[in-house]
Amino acid sequence: MVTIVTDGVGYGWKGKEGATADHHGADDIIPRDIRFGIVDKPTRHWFAGDIVKTALADGLSIFLPEGERFFIRSLKHYAAQLDDRELADEINGYAVQEAYHTREHEDYNRAMAALGYDVKAMERPVASALGLTTKPLQRLAVTCAIEHLTATLSTVTLRHPEIFDGAEPHYRRLWMWHALEEIEHKAVALDVLKKATANMSGWQRYLLRVVAMNATIVPFLLIFLRNTYLYAKTDGVKPGFRFWMRFLWVVSVSPGFWRRCIPLLLRYYLPGFDPRNSDDAALVAKGREWIAREMPAAGATA
């Protein structure tokens, strides 16, 4: 049974009054209305003073406001059609979490713009790519694919929080908060897809989601690399051979962000794929404890 908590009493914390511990099950979807103040304190190279690490995180934020609006529309389309009240409630909790994520990443992206990055130019191909998907079932399948990508990154973040060692606290807190909530709702989109395709065979559903993943991950990577190039140029860094070798080192070797993600990403291609991992309960507990410990110093407001 999944519990959706959307009122002030049920939140894991209330920012103005300080954090309180989460007393909820691992499967509960808990929207947390927290403000991180990124737009009030924009910081260049906030990730341990490393342009490549910072570009990786900032580049992901470029995708998120438009992507999260896309996810909400995709799932809300099916909410009224489901004869499953619990799943409809999960969609509602998912939508509230994603709405808060959208707000914070819009502020995050405004902070990047204040530092001189051409955020509009970087966001434009994201909106164009998502706009190509117009049929509701295709949008839902793309949502499942992107949600798996974000859940994969989030799982790695919660398993290895030391990745953010040296990062500015207000940025680190935002990414840890986002990772926790992505894990909490990571199964919702695929659960909706299963309901929406109940008349399909298992192999038809498998092909639908795998084709959607392949159609998503290639343009996602190309846009990401293009935006990394623009980001580096803004900082006066020539994105030549040395820059890209450093980029490959960071994503593949140390700390190896993408290397750590690949095994989890490939699970999506298994016919019997289930987004739930055996250690999800422990990760959720770890994330909630981390935030409860860190948020009193964050100046968050609910």
Q: What is the DSSP letter of 115?
A: T
Q: What is the pLDDT of residue 17?
A: 32
Query: Tokens representing 278?
Result: 């055996």
Percent of the chain with pLDDT over 70: 90
| Candidate from 43-57, 238-252, 269-283 with smallest mean pLDDT | 269-283
Residue 7 near residue 33, CB atoms below 8 Å: no
pLDDT at position 58 over 60: yes
Query: Tokens representing 120?
Result: 């509009």
Residue 168 near residue 43, CB atoms below 8 Å: yes
Orientation angle between helical segments 136-159 and 202-234, nearest 10 degrees: 60
pLDDT at position 287 over 70: yes
Residue 21 near residue 108, CB atoms below 8 Å: no
Nearest Cα neighbor of 43 from 169, 229, 184 is 169
Question: Alpha helices, DSSP H only, in 133-272?
Answer: 136-159, 169-184, 188-196, 202-234, 241-252, 257-266
In a domain, 96, yes or no: yes
Residue 163 near residue 255, CB atoms below 8 Å: yes
Mean pLDDT of 261-280: 93
In a domain, 130, yes or no: yes
Query: Tokens representing 231?
Result: 């980001």
In a domain, 132, yes or no: yes
In a domain, 302, yes or no: no
Nearest Cα neighbor of 68 from 31, 99, 110 is 99
Q: How far apart are the first and last CA of the chain?
A: 26
Q: Cis peptide leading into 161, omega within 30 of 0?
A: no
CA–CA–CA angle 263, 221, 165 (5° rounding): 65
Strand ranges in 60-105 using DSSP code E only, listed in sequence order: none
- Number of Cβ within 10 Å of residue 162's Cβ equals 8
In a domain, 2, yes or no: no
In a domain, 67, yes or no: yes
- Number of Cβ within 10 Å of residue 123's Cβ equals 19
Residue 148 near residue 256, CB atoms below 8 Å: no
295 band by pLDDT with thresholds 50, 70 and 90: confident
193 band by pLDDT with thresholds 50, 70 and 90: very high
- In this structure, what CATH number is given to the domain that contains residue 120? 1.10.620
Q: Give the pTM.
A: 0.90
Q: Give the model confidence (pLDDT) of 220-245 as tens digits.
A: 999 999 999 999 999 999 999 999 99
Residue 145 near residue 212, CB atoms below 8 Å: yes
| Candidate from 122-126, 190-194, 277-281 with smallest mean pLDDT | 277-281
Amino acid identity, position 92: N
In a domain, 4, yes or no: no
pLDDT at position 264 over 50: yes
In a domain, 8, yes or no: no
For the chain, how many structural domains are there in total? Answer: 1
- Number of Cβ within 10 Å of residue 201's Cβ equals 9
Nearest Cα neighbor of 277 from 180, 183, 177, 176 is 183
Q: What is the pLDDT of residue 46?
A: 98
Expressed as residue numbers, the domain containing 58 is 13-297
Q: Which residue has the higher pLDDT, 24 or 38?
A: 38
Residue 97 near residue 186, CB atoms below 8 Å: no
Q: Distance (Å, rounded) from C-alpha 163 to C-alpha 283? A: 15
